A = this chain, B = another copy of it.
Amino acid sequence: MAGARVERGPGRPRHEHVTGAVLSAVLELMTEQGLSAVTMDAVAARAGVSKPAIYRRWPGKHDLILAAAETRIGVLSVPDLGDFRAELRAVLDARLDVYRIPGTARVMAGLIAAVEEDGAVRGAYERYVSRTMGETRKILERGIARGDVRADVDVRAAATLVAAPLVYRLMIEQQVPDARFAADLADMIARAVGSRA
């Protein structure tokens, strides 16, 4: 059964351009005109593609939105900087850059709504969240091993404490977080989980 999908059988192969054009169209429509403008017909028209071509790639609208959101949040990787505080700033700044891209709030809102409405995309969504928080967990564990993070902190709780404020500011408070806020967070979180000053 292995990676049998790679070797293709008979028949016309999929045009790779279609996939990219559709995902771009989704993000563009969301950013420019909001969630309600993201209709399947509008996406097809914007991408210069037929509607059936979309449905051959994704089973439904929710899956499409999830796929589009995934292109926004790449895998973040922070190298060992020898200092928890510095790595914390790196994580927060990297996230800040993503959240400051116009339309990100709408993309995430669409994602949440899609997941809440459609249990079928839950699995993929959970992997997405794990990947998002993975690097934060890593720097916390590295800090504990190094000794500049308190050994008694719950890593999962702390990871949520790190990830939550920027997202909350963006989605719930409906404001784009700025560098000052990220810096304040770094100060407070460092005191919250740091072992010493």
Contact = CB atoms under 8 A, between A and B. Distances in A.
A126 interface: yes
Interface of A: 34-36, 105-106, 109-110, 112-113, 115-118, 122, 125-126, 129, 153-154, 157-158, 160-161, 163-165, 167-169, 171-174, 181, 184-185, 188-189, 191-193
A91 to B, nearest CB: 15
A125 B109 CA distance: 15
Contact of A164 (B105, B112, B154, B164): B164
B164 A168 contact: yes
Instruction: Classify the secondary structure of A's interface with B.
Output: helix
Identical subunits present:
2
A133 to B, nearest CB: 8
Contacts of A36: 117-118
B122 A174 contact: yes
A109 to B, nearest CB: 4
A35 B126 contact: no
A188 B184 contact: no
Contacts of A105: 116
A185 B168 contact: no
Nearest to A158: B188
Given A34-B117, A113-B35, A153-B188, A163 B174 contact: no
21 contacts: A35-B117, A109-B113, A112-B113, A113-B113, A129-B172, A160-B169, A160-B173, A160-B181, A161-B161, A161-B165, A161-B189, A164-B165, A164-B169, A164-B172, A165-B165, A167-B172, A168-B168, A189-B192, A191-B191, A191-B192, A192-B192
A116 B109 contact: yes
A147 B184 CA distance: 20
